[in-house]
Each structure stands twice: as structure tokens, then as C-alpha cells.
Amino acid sequence: MKWIVLAVALMLAACAPAAPKRSPAEAAAYALTLVPAGPRLSDLYAQSCRTCHTVVDTGAPLAGDRASWEPRWKKGMPALLSSTVGGLNGMPAGGQCFSCTPQDYEALIRFMADHEN
């Protein structure tokens, strides 16, 4: 079994975009420096997603950490929106954002996943 895991890891490493390699602590420190564009999104983010998505121990994919977002990004935006609205394991339904619209969620997901364009 081990070789399969290794082979898959190697394949993923080979296909991964040229994202910088960061340790979890570096990724969390980097996540803390990021702020979404515009006052509305940055307020919503600061009050909700940021609480978990900048802290390694929460198990949340860190903001700006493409490596941990990439497998999730591949699920497609409708699936990501549905886990955001409905919750997923440690991810609470609505992400603790009580005034986020679907457009806000999409923008926040794009921001955290480093797929703003």
C-alpha cells in the first residue's frame, strides 16, 4: 500500500502549480497577512472565516495556502458553496457569517483559495 501513497504523492507534486512550499507555521503566518479587497469583504472575513482559516489547529484550509485548497477547489464552486452554507465537519454551517450573501461567500472562498481571478 505504501508505494501507492508515495506514487500518488509524487504525481500530485509533479502536477501541482508552482506554489511556494511553506511549513504549516509559515502558511499560518502568511494567512494572517492576507485581507480581502474592499471594506465589506474584509469586515465579513475578519468577523468570521479568518478566525479559523488562519489557524492550523482548526483543521481549516489556510487562507492563501493553495496547496491545501487545490483538492477542494477541484470540487467546483457549487460544492464549496454548499459546504460553506451547510457546514462540513469542523466547518460550521454559514461559516459563522450571519450577513454573508451567496456572492460574499463565493468571493471569500475565491480569496482564501487564492483563485480571485
User: Applying CB under 6 A, which residues contact ligand HEC?
Assistant: 48-49, 51-53, 58-61, 72, 75, 79-80, 83-84, 88-92, 95-97, 100, 105, 108-109
Which residue number, 19 or 51, has a Cβ lying nearer to ligand HEC? 51
Nearest approach in angstroms of CB 13 to ligand HEC is 21
Q: Which CB sits closer to ligand HEC, 89 or 103?
A: 89
* Smallest gap from residue 116 Cβ to ligand HEC (A): 13
Closer to ligand HEC at the Cβ: 22 or 72?
72
What is the C-alpha to C-alpha distance for residues 14 and 57, in angstroms, rounded to an integer? Answer: 28
The amino acid at residue 51 is T
Minimum Å gap between C-beta 82 and ligand HEC is 8
Please tell me the distance from the alpha carbon of residue 13 to that of residue 8, in angstroms, as a whole number: 8
Using alpha carbons, list the distances in angstroms from residue 1 to 4, 5, 8, 52, 89: 5, 7, 11, 33, 27
**Amino acid identity, position 87:** G
State which residue, 3 or 57, has the beta carbon closest to ligand HEC.
57
Altogether, the residues listed in the chain come to a count of 117
